[in-house]
Structure 1
Amino acid sequence: MPVVTIPGSKSITARALFLAAAADGVTTLVRPLRSDDTEGFAEGLVRLGHRVGRTPDAWQVDGRPQGPAVSEADVYCRDGATTARFLPTLAAAGRGTYRFDASPQMRRRPLLPLTRALRDLGVDLRHEQAEGHHPLTVRAAGVEGGEVTLDAGQSSQYLTALLLLGPLTRKGLRIHVTDLVSAPYVDITIAMMRAFGAEVAREGEAFVVPPGGYRATTYPIEPDASTASYFFAAAAVTPGAEVTVPGLGRGSLQGDLGFVEVLRRMGAEVSVGSDATTVRGTDELRGLTVAMRDISDTMPTLAAIAPFASGPVRIEDVANTRVKECDRLQACAENLRRLGVGVDTGPDWIEILPGTPTGAEIRTYGDHRVVMSFAVTGLRTPGISFDDPACVRKTFPGFHEAFAELRSVLGDDR
């Protein structure tokens, strides 16, 4: 029975870095994810004047509740959406002039709902080129706080950024949310804020965050549930195979662990324990219709194994996946067609017919999740290759080695 060690959660690591940088004291992050996204976030903190000490198993961050230690900085956010959305918000709580830019891929991704909300709170923030996109400059003088309205229908990260800012404002925040996608990620944010000594109250569609700052702590990072989805899916498409991921169980903060319940509906055997989850493949993978609004990062994983189901797989309510690292709905559809699989799509859905994929080169669009998802397809489809296999460095630099090891073990077990 393969036991797979999954790297730390990208979402949790990014939030923990923000909280550590804003906390009063020195925070130790245990087993953080080391990838291009999180290294970029840490480097951004260093550019803002924070000390970040890094060892293989832990990072230490000197917090500055008063904001960045420097009055001017130029921060490059790489491809990281959390870096590009959270760091300008953190900088707004300080005093100084801070410029943020990002990769061409990240420049295309939207952040106008967040920057509009920051402006409504009095933050002097200017987009240098396309409105609502990087690059941007923040001329920070602290944030008074108050009430603000936010549309988080494209990304829950907009709401997370404002929630994280709340305790750093002078009066606190009351955030009225008109739409929200990927709500479990907001639950992660609130739970982590509480671990750092802050509180959040929910009043209908509003989130209320009092002022008061954060306390430094030692914070362990749990394994990444989105990354685990590829390994759970590998078991589900391999009859008799079993994969266990330790560190992800009933107490997990991450909503993406809910992907195993989708696999259960399809016929896989699933066991979620107190501190580990196991998926076992059976003789049949059934088709289904499933709304994945709350776990949309695992949509490509399901799309990649859908051809092996005995009936059509229809994935609904995932419009937000069109504004990720690429248009993931379109990328999944295009690549499945390259493999000879029948696919239909709409504005927020994709339907995949059963079939026998044939080998082809996968067009990745530089998206790590496209590569990792179709690597699972490759378990049962010889001849699959990728035009940019190295883009997995964004969240899991060692993915190909780890997946090759799993492939060899699953092959021995069959």
Structure 2
Amino acid sequence: MTVVEIPGSKSVTARALFLAAAAEGTTTLLRPLSSDDTEGFAEGLTRLGYRVERDEREWRIEGRPQGPATDAEVYCRDGATTARFLPTLAAAGHGSFRFDASEQMRRRPLGPLTEALRTLGVELHHQEREGHHPLRIEARGVAGGEVTLDAGLSSQYLTALLLLGPLTRQGLRITVTDLVSAPYVEITLAMMRSFGVRVERDGNVFTVPPGGYRATEYRVEPDASTASYFFAAAAVTGREVTVPGLGRDALQGDLRFVEVLERLGAKVEVGADRVTVGGAPGGRLTGGTVAMRDISDTMPTLAAIAPFATAPIRIVDVYNTRIKECDRLDACAENLRRLGVDVATGRDWIEIRPGTPQPAEISTRGDHRIVMSFAVTGLRTPGITFDDPGCVRKTFPDFHRAFAAWADASAEQAEG
């Protein structure tokens, strides 16, 4: 058994930073993720006037329930959570706030969220392209009330409004017309409970009470999306990996990726506080159709190992992967073809046929998940290279060293 320590969850860290900033008192985050995205979020909080102290194992945030009160400009880098959550936090305060982001993040849509904020009376202006950054908010607090939201492109729109709800004067009643990546909303609701707020849900209607949050000490669990690369690696090499800190009660829906691997032939054991994945016989997965709407961040992981299956793997209901850091569905298809693999795609699906990938340079499009996914392919196809291997700093700066260390250790164990 080879054990891998996975860094903290990006999704949980971002939500914890928002909740800590909005809470009454000082919150301590234990083992938060330190990466470009989360450091950008923390830097944004600092620009908004919050006190954030960081060391290697703990981050401490002094909350201010009344919201930011100092005019500020915030650069959100490539971080979608930063670019969507911090403007919502700023709207609850008082002042003039301008938000901008990288070219990559500027391309990603913001419109459903900002339209909802406008419905709630928030004065905001998209300064260049409607529905995208850069964005200016003239904040005077948010009264609250009822709003209808389409979260069919990103669950982060709903999470941003849910997090805002307790900071409004009346609370929020949110009716959702469409929702993708629903497990991420469950993360949000569970974490809000940890900070003292319980959201009532009746089908597609979420009722959020006013009253604010309470500071707490909060431990960030390992990132399930990041763990998927190690789980996939074990599945296609016939080896084994154990990830501690994730188990039956984990918050993150992306842990369901191991259910996909199990269905395709891998050996999976989910314990109370750890998950172990063992390789499929001969490292050969079976084929089939897999719907990944709710765990779409792991779509590239599955696509990258699909050539090693015994039959075609068809991944469906993943349109929202086209508006991530890049068009991930198209990026996976392009790179698999570069490797000589037979691939077909449609609006919201990709089908990968069995094959023997050949070495090639992967076009990463600056997307960390493309790099980490095709690093798994590289375990069975030596000679794969990347045009931008360093973009993993977004979520896992130490990925290449950690992945190589696991590969070496697991190979030695298999030989022994």
TM-score above 0.5, yes or no: yes
Residues 40-60 of structure 1 deviation map (CA, whole Å, 9 limit, x = unaligned)? 000000000000000100000
Match of 1:154 in 2: 153
Partners of 1:361 and 1:342 in 2: CA distance: 17
The one-letter amino acid paired with 1:123 is V
The one-letter amino acid paired with 2:39 is E
Q: Is the 8 A contact 2:69 2:95 kept in 1?
A: no
1:253 aligns with 2:271: no
1:24 aligns with 2:24: yes
Residues 11-64 of structure 1 deviation map (CA, whole Å, 9 limit, x = unaligned)? 000000000000000000000000000000000000000000001000000000
1:204 CA displacement: 2.3
Partners of 2:372 and 2:202 in 1: CA distance: 39
Q: Is the 8 A contact 2:199 2:209 kept in 1?
A: yes
Match of 2:361 in 1: 361
1:407 CA displacement: 1.4
Residues 66-106 of structure 1 deviation map (CA, whole Å, 9 limit, x = unaligned)? 01142x10000000000000000000000000000000000
Match of 1:88 in 2: 87
Match of 1:143 in 2: 142
Residues 240-294 of structure 1 deviation map (CA, whole Å, 9 limit, x = unaligned)? x110000000010000000000000010000000000000003131111110000
Match of 1:15 in 2: 15
Q: Is the 8 A contact 1:75 1:101 kept in 2?
A: yes
Q: How does 1:13-412 map to 2 (within 5 A)?
A: 13-70=13-70, 72-239=71-238, 241-283=239-281, 284-412=284-412
Q: Is the 8 A contact 1:245 1:276 kept in 2?
A: yes
Q: Is the 8 A contact 1:363 1:387 kept in 2?
A: yes
Indicate the larger mover: 334-343 or 60-69: 60-69
SS of match in other structure, 2:2: coil
Q: Is the 8 A contact 1:37 1:394 kept in 2?
A: yes
Q: Is the 8 A contact 1:127 1:137 kept in 2?
A: yes
Partners of 2:280 and 2:273 in 1: CA distance: 23
Partners of 1:263 and 1:24 in 2: CA distance: 43
The one-letter amino acid paired with 1:4 is V
Partners of 2:181 and 2:285 in 1: CA distance: 26
Residues 319-373 of structure 1 deviation map (CA, whole Å, 9 limit, x = unaligned)? 0000000000000000000000000000000000000000000000000000000
The one-letter amino acid paired with 1:390 is G
Partners of 1:303 and 1:410 in 2: CA distance: 23
TM-score scaled by length of structure 1: 0.99
The one-letter amino acid paired with 1:295 is I
Partners of 1:288 and 1:229 in 2: CA distance: 19
Partners of 2:160 and 2:380 in 1: CA distance: 41
Partners of 2:406 and 2:385 in 1: CA distance: 18
Q: Is the 8 A contact 1:50 1:69 kept in 2?
A: no
Partners of 2:285 and 2:208 in 1: CA distance: 45
1:410 CA displacement: 2.5
Q: Is the 8 A contact 1:167 1:213 kept in 2?
A: yes
SS of match in other structure, 1:351: strand
SS of match in other structure, 2:59: strand
SS of match in other structure, 1:237: helix
1:382 CA displacement: 1.1
Moved over 2 A (4+): none
Q: Is the 8 A contact 2:3 2:244 kept in 1?
A: yes
Number of matched pairs: 412
Q: Is the 8 A contact 1:145 1:172 kept in 2?
A: yes
Q: Is the 8 A contact 1:147 1:175 kept in 2?
A: yes
The one-letter amino acid paired with 2:237 is T
Partners of 2:263 and 2:211 in 1: CA distance: 44
Q: Is the 8 A contact 1:27 1:219 kept in 2?
A: yes
User: Structure 1: which 5+ residue stretches go unaligned?
Assistant: none
Partners of 1:309 and 1:195 in 2: CA distance: 41
Partners of 1:303 and 1:207 in 2: CA distance: 34
Partners of 1:87 and 1:73 in 2: CA distance: 12
TM-score scaled by length of structure 2: 0.99
SS of match in other structure, 1:174: strand
Q: Is the 8 A contact 2:195 2:215 kept in 1?
A: yes
Partners of 1:286 and 1:103 in 2: CA distance: 40
**CA RMSD, aligned part only?**
0.6
The alignment-based identity, stated in percent, is 75
SS of match in other structure, 1:53: strand
Residues 279-318 of structure 1 deviation map (CA, whole Å, 9 limit, x = unaligned)? 0003131111110000000000000000000000000000
Partners of 2:60 and 2:309 in 1: CA distance: 46
